[in-house]
Amino acid sequence: MNAIEIHNLTKRFGDFTANDNISLSVKKGEIKAIVGENGAGKTTLMNMLYGLLKPTSGQILINGKEVHFKSPLDAIREGLGMAHQHFKLVPSLSIYENVVLGIEKDRRIRIGNGEIHFPLVDKKQEIQLVQQVIDKYKFNLDANSKIEDISVGQQQRVEILKMLYREVDILILDEPTAVLTPQEVDELIVSLKELQSQGKTIIVITHKLREVMALADTITVIKRGKVVGELEKTKTDEAEISRLMVGREVVVHKCCAADLSHSLVAYRVEHLSTSNSDGKEVVKDVSFEIREGEILGIAGVEGNGQSELSKVLTGLMRSTKGRVYLYDREITNFWPKELRRSGISIIPEDRFEQGLCRDMTIADNLIAGYHDQKDVCRYGILRKKQIEKKREEMVKHYDIRISDIKGNVSQLSGGNAQKIIIAREFSANPKVLLANQPTRGVDIGSIEYIHGKLLEYREQKKAVLLISSELSEIMRLSDRIIVMYKGEIIGELEGFCCTKEEIGLLMAGVK
């Protein structure tokens, strides 16, 4: 029995076809991976399945029955749940409030055999029920924590929790591991297999082929809105999948250590500390330097101070102690604008929170932060023609796939939105690049490009700070690797020759 059948589904945005006559089916109890380049149409397809977008034409069948969802509420009623690529959580509310949002429990009092309902929320029962689901799936969360206080990885788990709480049978996960650490990914794979053994049907979108091979039974490859491959996991391999996705072999950049002892120190951090809004010290006495031509990698389990360190270094949080230098110039607590003006480019951790403005045009986002520079601004007035020219060049050069060049960033696929930041920051030609999760949500072809570019910077004697939860990325690119644990630097390793196990031990706090 097929849990899902899609027949000739097409979705057009204006005259752009995002999904072109797509047909596929998912058996009950199967795990299906959907893969494809940024902008291929994966999220669009899932949004139609979940009732968020109306198909232009085609048919959707759930458990053999044709459906026409008007909204996700209809989808949930038919047993479908979706965890989105970009979280849909309310930061100021607690975990349990986010989970029960829309299906709150009212307060009841038993009288004899009957019950009286009150138009009040039964907070105690809600907390208890949500905590039960958390514990059942070993999600290691406190139902009372506020979303804004938990890590991105934990927020991802809340998204999945929302579906589990609604007891859906078909789970759609759009890039669930993009923000998870390798350990969290392994835990998630175990949880999803467990859900499968309980009879749930799962569709996962991911760019990480290791996960596809570890998780999926079948794989559908989408390219430019069309299905270009239907594969069974046991009869394929990563190379075949990536060939179908990208249309060519993907190169893995290899690099080796360089002698940097005579190179100048370009960037120096001395005894830096900072505290969060609760007054807790989250970065403690961190010191490091990066020489010209060096990539310094920072590894660590998420929530060990890397985010806060990166915020302090990029002007989004103030340090409580310590100093930062660009060559000999002190730049401690500079604003992002001052940092950029001094020659530091910034790729922030969260593309939509810190890197882009969704409701602004692609062109405006491509110059944001650099909009007072001569090539796009004269006498305080933006030069529209020049900005448009720059936009055309960048979109072409960075292969940003868009349906409407004049549109807003909110219309872009996740990976293409990330590429807007990459294009903006790379083309500023900085002396120092501070890159936090630069390839998050980006397809394998584009990862190859970004990695190549970082190594090119290194060749050009620029300094790069690379914070990433992708251990393979850190190991492949960094000359040196420092590991953060509980806000401190717990150890340093030489790049290119240390092992995953050595980094893993430091990440776990073992010196």
**Residues 6 or more apart whose Cβ sits within 8 Å of residue 372:** none
3-class SS of residue 366 = helix
Minimum CB distance to Mg ion smaller for 205 or for 465:
205
Q: Are 171 and 197 in contact (CB under 8 A)?
A: no
Using CB under 6 A, pick the residue from 4, 38, 87, 100 that binds ligand ATP: 38
Using CB under 6 A, pick the residue from 40, 99, 363, 503 that binds ligand ATP: 40
| Both structure tokens of 233 | 């996991």
Verify binding: residue 469, ligand ATP, rule CB under 6 A.
no
Pairing verdict, β 218-223 and 31-36: parallel
Q: Are 315 and 334 in contact (CB under 8 A)?
A: yes
Minimum CB distance to ligand ATP smaller for 154 or for 206:
206
Smallest distance from the beta carbon of 410 to ligand ATP, in angstroms? Answer: 7
Sign, CA dihedral 348-352-353-358, equals: positive
- The region of 285-293, 303-311, 330-338, 407-415 touching Mg ion under the rule CB under 5 A is 407-415
Minimum CB distance to Mg ion smaller for 417 or for 477:
417
Beta strands in 241-358 (DSSP E): 265-275, 281-291, 295-299, 321-326, 329-330, 344-347
Minimum CB distance to ligand ATP smaller for 101 or for 405:
405
Verify binding: residue 39, ligand ATP, rule CB under 6 A.
yes
Verify binding: residue 43, ligand ATP, rule CB under 6 A.
yes
* CB-based burial label for 70 (10 Å; 0-12, 13-18, 19+): exposed
Using CB under 6 A, pick the residue from 293, 305, 369, 414 that binds ligand ATP: 414
Verify binding: residue 12, ligand ATP, rule CB under 6 A.
no
Verify binding: residue 43, Mg ion, rule CB under 5 A.
yes
| Both structure tokens of 117 | 């309902």
Smallest distance from the beta carbon of 222 to ligand ATP, in angstroms? Answer: 7
As a whole number of angstroms, the distance between CA 52 and CA 363 comes to: 27
Kindly state the number of chain residues that form the binding site for Mg ion, as judged by CB under 5 A. 4
Using CB under 6 A, pick the residue from 364, 411, 498, 505 that binds ligand ATP: 411
In a 13 Å sphere around the CA of 412, the CA atoms on its Cβ side amount to 32
Verify binding: residue 44, Mg ion, rule CB under 5 A.
no
As a whole number of angstroms, the distance between CA 419 and CA 145 comes to: 33
Smallest distance from the beta carbon of 415 to ligand ATP, in angstroms? Answer: 3
As a whole number of angstroms, the distance between CA 370 and CA 377 comes to: 9
- The region of 40-48, 89-97, 121-129, 447-455 touching Mg ion under the rule CB under 5 A is 40-48
Q: Are 49 and 7 in contact (CB under 8 A)?
A: no
Q: Of these partners, ligand ATP, Mg ion, none, which one is at the site of residue 36 (CB under 5 to 8 Å by kind)?
A: ligand ATP
- Report the candidate in 404, 319, 420 with the shortest Cα–Cα distance to residue 369: 420
Smallest distance from the beta carbon of 28 to Mg ion, in angstroms? Answer: 25
Q: Are 160 and 87 in contact (CB under 8 A)?
A: no
Verify binding: residue 468, ligand ATP, rule CB under 6 A.
no
Smallest distance from the beta carbon of 87 to ligand ATP, in angstroms? Answer: 14
Verify binding: residue 436, Mg ion, rule CB under 5 A.
no
Verify binding: residue 415, ligand ATP, rule CB under 6 A.
yes
φ/ψ region of 11 (left if φ > 0, alpha if ψ in -120 to 50, else beta) reads beta
- The region of 214-222, 227-235, 329-337, 405-413 touching Mg ion under the rule CB under 5 A is 405-413
As a whole number of angstroms, the distance between CA 48 and CA 56 comes to: 10
CA 256 from centroid of its chain's CA atoms: 28
Verify binding: residue 300, Mg ion, rule CB under 5 A.
no
| Both structure tokens of 473 | 């990325």
Using CB under 6 A, pick the residue from 168, 231, 395, 402 that binds ligand ATP: 402
Smallest distance from the beta carbon of 297 to ligand ATP, in angstroms? Answer: 25
Minimum CB distance to ligand ATP smaller for 193 or for 401:
401
As a whole number of angstroms, the distance between CA 87 and CA 443 comes to: 19
Q: Of these partners, Mg ion, ligand ATP, none, which one is at the site of residue 469 (CB under 5 to 8 Å by kind)?
A: none
Interacting residues with ligand ATP (CB under 6 A): 13, 18, 36, 38-44, 85, 401-404, 411-416, 443
